[in-house]
Amino acid sequence: MIFWLMQRLAPCLAALTVLSGCFFPGGRSYSYYWNPENILSIGREALETNNEYRWTDVLTGHALCQYGDEKGMNSIRKTLASVPELTLDGPNLVKHQWLSKPGYIGFFTYYHETYEASFKTPAGKTVLETVIGCHFGLSEEDPSLVGLPVSKYSIRTCSIASIRDHVGTPPDNGGVCDDLLRK
């Protein structure tokens, strides 16, 4: 009986794991859907299907301002199409920190991670770079909750904060987005 039940449940659990974003082919495991690898995957899929709504879902800050419309999508698409065999380097964790005081970004964030990912030619030349910001927090503000283990924060989300195109020309926005660029 137990063997039969396990046979029936195993495919469902495997599908649920993949669909929920808990496992990705890079060998890393994340416990939340809006993680760095999934953000890049959703962004790629949105570009391939010309889904502007889904594309803007994964962008924030400078990236949203500079590339969050049809012109921006076309610019990135053109850059990625200009080099036939791109490889993805990353996402790589470059910084993490507990905030000394919770910040409010639609929820109270207590912990932040920054990842970088780049698309490179087979010769190693960088074509496109992205910075991904991840925030971990709760719906309530309580300074005593600063410094908890990351697993204790129920809200976990990442988004592409900036994109640097080393091949193409970014869409002209009259400098409006320049203040949002993280250097």
**Helix (H) or strand (E) segment spanning residue 100:** strand 87-104
What does the pLDDT read at residue 14?
Answer: 35
Q: Could you read off the pLDDT of 63-99 as tens digits, one per residue?
A: 888 888 888 888 888 888 888 788 888 899 999 999 8
What does the pLDDT read at residue 20?
Answer: 32
pLDDT greater than 60 at residue 169 = yes
Q: Which of 55-59, 66-70, 161-165, 168-172 has the lowest mean pLDDT?
A: 168-172
Cα–Cα distances in Å, from 36 out to 90, 122, 133?
A: 9, 23, 8
Instruction: Please count the helices (runs of H) and the strands (runs of E) in the chain.
Output: 5, 4
* Per-residue exposure over 24-52, b if at least 16 CB sit within 10 Å of its own CB, e if not: beeeeebebebbbbbbbebbeebbeeeee
Please give the model's pTM, rounded to 2 decimal places: 0.77
Contact, 55 vs 180, CB < 8 A? no
Q: Which residues contact 7 (CB under 8 A, 6 or more apart)?
A: none
Lookup result for tokens 């964030």: 109
Contact, 59 vs 159, CB < 8 A? yes
- Break the chain into its structural domains and give their ranges: 30-180
What does the pLDDT read at residue 105?
Answer: 87
What does the pLDDT read at residue 82?
Answer: 83
Q: Could you read off the pLDDT of 103-152 as tens digits, one per residue?
A: 888 899 999 999 999 999 888 888 889 999 999 999 999 888 888 888 88
What does the pLDDT read at residue 85?
Answer: 84
Among left, alpha and beta (phi > 0; psi -120 to 50; other), residue 88 is beta
Q: Could you read off the pLDDT of 1-41 as tens digits, one per residue?
A: 443 333 443 343 333 333 333 333 334 556 777 889 989 99
